[in-house]
Homo-oligomer: A and B are copies of this chain.
Amino acid sequence: MSLAVFSDKRVDNLKIAYIGGGSRGWAWGLMSDLAQAPDLSGSVDLYDIDFEAAQHNEIIGNKYNDLEGTVGKWTYTAKKTIGEALTDADFVVISILPGTFDEMESDVHWPEKYGIYQPVGDSTGPGGIVRALRTIPMFQEFARAIREYCPDAWVINYTNPMTLCVRTLYKEFPGIKAFGCCHEVFGTQNLLKNILKELRGIDATRDEIKTNVVGVNHFTWITKATYRKTDLFPLYREYIEKRKKSETTSNYTDDNWVNNAWTSDNSVKFDLFERYGYMAAAGDRHLAEFCEGSWYLDNPKDVVVKWHFGLTPVSWRKEDLQKRLASSAELVGGKKDVTLRATGEEGVHMMRALLGLTDMVTNVNIPNAGQIPNLPMDAVVETNARFTADTVTPVLAGPIPMPIYNLINRICAEQEMVIEGAFERDLEKVYRAFANDPLVRLPLDQSRKMFNEMVENTKAYLGDYFKK
């Protein structure tokens, strides 16, 4: 039961349960955002399967209260059980790594033996599907715990595969109040902002770029974009034409994709626009994974030479984690100080809206109740939604336009097959989806072999969940 205290224009004694956070990145961003929220205060209970990680975050979190510039005071406490963390929570934030980067290494790189390359490998494709196999059982447990300990709390998920995580929460506990947040659309809004500046000399903020969003997470599309009375579609087209005429669209001097792990110059986005007439609204690394494998991921050399985006190796993630752990040790030991920063995330703003302190409309991942009438009902989709007092209401984003319908519906139906297979604990049904994934493109015997191997590689996290 919520113990929050509402007074004029502010809410105190809130309780947030944070599940995960052992990898630190997201947790610290949230801490910084909370410290800067002027009208909220309360406590954050931390739960991670690595209790020591939660304890470190407790120490780090509490340091924010002493910073100059901190206006929101929060008490951080590591909890040994998920039940303790969830009890009386107003909000639950879930940001976990399902398994370790060793499992992710198989997800991302094992398919390379079969000629399949994945720039991210956590949302879709063979990597995303196998990651889902170990994530879905975890989220089923989370959903059951939330039903038991805080059924009325709002649950904000940041974990990938986003769509299947949120779908699992609702399928396991239909009364849950959950949504998934992702900032990928913001990147395209920023791109439009920059184009507006470059072509028209107009300074706008990202907030002023208004978009209608349809699709599924990391494969979102914009079907309408306006700045004041300006339709941004012709502008986007003009920009693409102009760029094609310029001599260099990027200065990649190195065609070794490993060195360009996170970069992209939007070539995929622009190619999709030219061919389909709608704006794909996620990073090129993500977009490429949802398309026919032969288009942008036919071989790793092309990726850099032709499409100008990088494939992120898991080794990079492993190193990066070590840096964050080192950073964590320094923060805990007092060798380094915590700092306030602008994260660009909207999570805390959403909380404020759900508490009735403000209104907002932003893109979010929730089950399809008709906001996209031509995608399957109940599948998790990403559209704009209105956040207001204790309520998230999707806007009617409208049907997916026919030119891009096939691209998106195919993914949506694939995800529905994965969830069905996982809930029935039937790997054979999951393989159905896997074999038909746009990246897989393998003869059936090979795709089955690859699937079996990848499942084997992740078995430590499956236990006996799936039927033999």
Q: Give the contacts of A414-455 with B (CB-CB under 8 A).
A: 414, 416-417, 420, 428-429, 431-433, 435-436, 441-444, 447
A315 interface residue per 8 A CB criterion: no
Contacts of A388 in B (CB 8 A): 210, 226, 361
Task: Chain B residues near A357: list those with CB within 8 A.
Answer: 228
Stretch at the interface among A135-143, A370-378, A457-465: A370-378
* Closest residue of B by beta carbon distance from A371: B396
**A331 interface contact, C-beta 8 A:** no
* Complex Cα spacing A371 to B208, Å: 25
| A295 in the interface (beta carbon within 8 A) | yes
A406 within 8 A of B: yes
**Bound: A451/B295 CA distance, A:** 15
Whole-angstrom CA separation of A228 from B389 in the bound complex: 5
Cα of A212 to Cα of B391 in the assembled complex, Å: 9
For residue A337, CB closer than 8 A to chain B, the reply is no
Oligomeric state, in number of copies?
4
- Tell me how far the C-beta of A445 lies from the nearest C-beta in chain B, rounded to whole angstroms: 9
Bound state CA distance, A447 and B293, in angstroms? 13
- Chain A residues 358-387 with CB under 8 Å of chain B are 359, 361, 369-371, 373-374, 376, 384, 386
Task: Assign chain A's interface to a size class.
Answer: 35 or more
Stretch at the interface among A41-49, A61-69, A316-324, A397-405: A397-405
> Closest chain B residue to A406 by CB distance?
B413
Interface status of A224 (Cβ within 8 A of chain B)? yes
Instruction: Assess whether B228 is in contact with A390, with CB atoms less than 8 Å apart.
Output: yes
Q: Which residues of B contact A252 (CB under 8 A)?
A: none
Query: Any chain B CB within 8 A of the CB of A393?
Result: yes
Chain B residues closer than 8 Å to A416, beta-carbon distance: 402, 405
Give the docked Cα–Cα distance between A442 and B405 (Å).
20
**Contact with A441, one of B4, B292, B374 (Cβ below 8 angstroms):** B292
B389 engages A386 (CB within 8 Å): no
The 0/1 profile, CB within 8 Å of B marked 1, for residues 198-230 of chain A is 000001000010101000000000001011111
- Over the window 26-68 of chain A, the binary record of Cβ atoms lying under 8 Å from chain B Cβ atoms (1 yes, 0 no) is 0000000000000000000000000000000000000000000
Residues of B within 8 A of A393 (CB): 212, 384, 395-397
Closest Cβ of chain B to A39, distance in Å, is 12
- Find out whether the CB atom of B410 lies under 8 angstroms from the CB atom of A396: no
Provide the residues of chain B in CB contact with A436, threshold 8 Å: 292, 406-407
Which 6 pairs across A and B sit closest by C-beta, in order of nearness?
A228-B356, A406-B413, A226-B389, A210-B389, A210-B388, A226-B390
Residues of A within 8 A of B (CB): 2, 4, 6, 8, 11, 203, 208, 210, 212, 224, 226-231, 271, 275-276, 292-295, 298, 302, 355-357, 359, 361, 369-371, 373-374, 376, 384, 386, 388-391, 393-398, 402-403, 405-407, 409-410, 413-414, 416-417, 420, 428-429, 431-433, 435-436, 441-444, 447
